[in-house]
């Protein structure tokens, strides 16, 4: 038992191969639910809640998420995305964030419950 715990078997021995097979079986056959590993929500890394105050929430939005969406439809598009994530909030305004070359690097969205 001591040799197994300390992994003292030489490579290419049958004991070494058995341990490697057990480890691989554990990795590939263990259910996801044991580790609470669930697929990420769509757009999870593209929307970040920054906090809020006075009853208002703030979100940073990746520019790719609203690319090609006309300015007058951005509020509706973002509200639909937040609804998919389980956030029932009303978007009050969206402000673009520009870099030094005046390219859009993201958006700040402000929402109320």
Residue 31 token pair: 């259910």
pLDDT digits (tens, 9 = 90+) for 49-58: 787 667 788 8
pTM of the complete model beyond 0.85 = no
- pLDDT tens digits for range 38-80: 555 555 578 777 876 677 888 888 888 888 888 888 888 888 8
Cβ density class 49-77: b for 16+ within 10 Å, e for less: eeeeeeeebebebeeebbeeeeeeebbee
């Amino acid at each position: 038992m001591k040799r197994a715990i300390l992994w003292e078997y030489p490579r290419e021995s049958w004991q070494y191969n058995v341990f490697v097979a057990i480890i691989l079986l554990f990795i590939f056959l263990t259910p996801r639910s044991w580790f609470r590993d669930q697929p990420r929500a769509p757009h999870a890394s593209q929307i970040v809640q920054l906090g809020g105050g006075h009853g208002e929430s703030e979100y940073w939005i990746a520019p790719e998420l609203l690319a090609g969406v006309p300015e007058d439809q951005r509020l509706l598009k973002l509200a639909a995305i937040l609804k998919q994530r389980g956030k029932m909030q009303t978007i009050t305004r969206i402000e673009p964030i520009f870099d030094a070359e005046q390219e859009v690097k993201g958006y700040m969205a402000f929402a109320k419950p």
